[in-house]
Amino acid sequence: MPELTEVEAFARAMTRWCGGRKVTALRLLDPTVQHTVERDVLGMTVRSVGRRGKHLILSLDDAELMIHLRMTGQLLPGEGAAFVRFVLHVQDAAPVQLIDPRRLAELHVLAPGGAARRLQGLGDEPYPELHPGLWWQTRLGHTRRPLKAALMDQALVAGLGNIAASEILWRAKLHPTRAANTLTEPEWSALAAAVHGFLHALMSTQDPERLVYIHRGGENPFSVYQRTRCPRCEGALARLTQQARSTYLCPRCQPAPLG
């Protein structure tokens, strides 16, 4: 399910579900799920839960548990749901199950420091700080690729996915096909504000269900994603394909690049 905001929500939830608790078992129910096992975590305590990009990282006494939910992974307390791929059992609390119909999620049980080592090529974090326009220009401004592709490139900035990219560019009034190296200083500032505004707005919904709304029958919390009308100008939204993914935009608010 994840983009940055959802992984962040899961990280906070995991802190409540298993933070400070001792692991009584880690069961991999489906070995076809991509996984690594460098440690036996039995008896170790979950010291903290964090996020890096779209990766969830649990720090244990002498191990790190790194989880990537990919497109359809979810974490939920309990047992016995459909499509459970692995279960983390902890002392004096409900176990936490990873549910993932498509089996794209990953689980890595690593030695301390293993997560950071594996994530060395990952770009910097856009959340929770408000970075200035120059921060964005430094990271995205050197490539001729479309702005949306640059925003989603995890090696440049970590955590922004397909939905976030559309939403952010709409907020910033920037066209998704603009070459990233053609933005002006005020446009970089607008992008910076848009990222911060979007991420914080979503995190402050105080409603975890809204963060994992897709496939849950929930209400669409987004402004342009899978919508047909622009909330700002009321004009018809457009949809185009970039990198084989859907991009939603408002042609009136986000002027197309010349040529």
Partner DNA sequence: TAACATGTTTGTCG
Partner DNA sequence: ACGACAAACATGTT
Q: Which stretches of the chain bind DNA, using CB under 7 A?
A: 1-3, 6, 32, 53-54, 68, 70-72, 83, 101-104, 143-146, 149, 152, 154, 161-163, 212, 214-215, 243-246
Output the smallest distance, CB 85 to DNA, in A. 11
Output the smallest distance, CB 134 to DNA, in A. 19
CA distance 107 to 104: 10
Q: Report the residue number, 215 or 229, with the smaller CB distance to DNA.
A: 215
HEC string for the chain: CCCHHHHHHHHHHHHHHHCCCEEEEEEECCCCCEEEECCCCCCCEEEEEEEECCEEEEEECCEEEEEECCCCCEEEECCCCCCEEEEEEECCCCCEEEECCCCCCEEEEECCCHHHHHCCCCCECCCCCCCCHHHHHHHHCCCCCEHHHHHHCCCCECCCCHHHHHHHHHHHCCCCCCEHHHCCHHHHHHHHHHHHHHHHHHHCCCCHHHHCCCCCCCCCCCCCCCCCECCCCCCECEEEEECCEEEEECCCCCCCCCC
Q: Report the residue number, 103 or 232, with the smaller CB distance to DNA.
A: 103
Output the smallest distance, CB 127 to DNA, in A. 14
Residue type present at position 64? E
Query: Does 208 participate in catalysis according to the annotation?
Result: no
Q: Report the residue number, 44 or 156, with the smaller CB distance to DNA.
A: 156
CA distance 132 to 130: 7
Q: Report the residue number, 106 or 187, with the smaller CB distance to DNA.
A: 106
The DSSP bridge pattern shows strands 245-249 and 63-68 to be unpaired
Q: Report the residue number, 44 or 249, with the smaller CB distance to DNA.
A: 249
Query: Does 144 participate in catalysis according to the annotation?
Result: no
- Active site residue: 52, 54, 139, 171, which one? 54
Query: Does 231 participate in catalysis according to the annotation?
Result: no
- Sign of the torsion formed by the C-alpha atoms of 127, 132, 135 and 137: positive
Query: Does 232 participate in catalysis according to the annotation?
Result: no
Q: Report the residue number, 34 or 48, with the smaller CB distance to DNA.
A: 34
Output the smallest distance, CB 176 to DNA, in A. 12
Output the smallest distance, CB 222 to DNA, in A. 10
- Active site residue: 21, 70, 245, 252, which one? 245
- Active site residue: 2, 126, 146, 176, which one? 2
User: Could you list the active site residues?
Assistant: 2-3, 54, 245
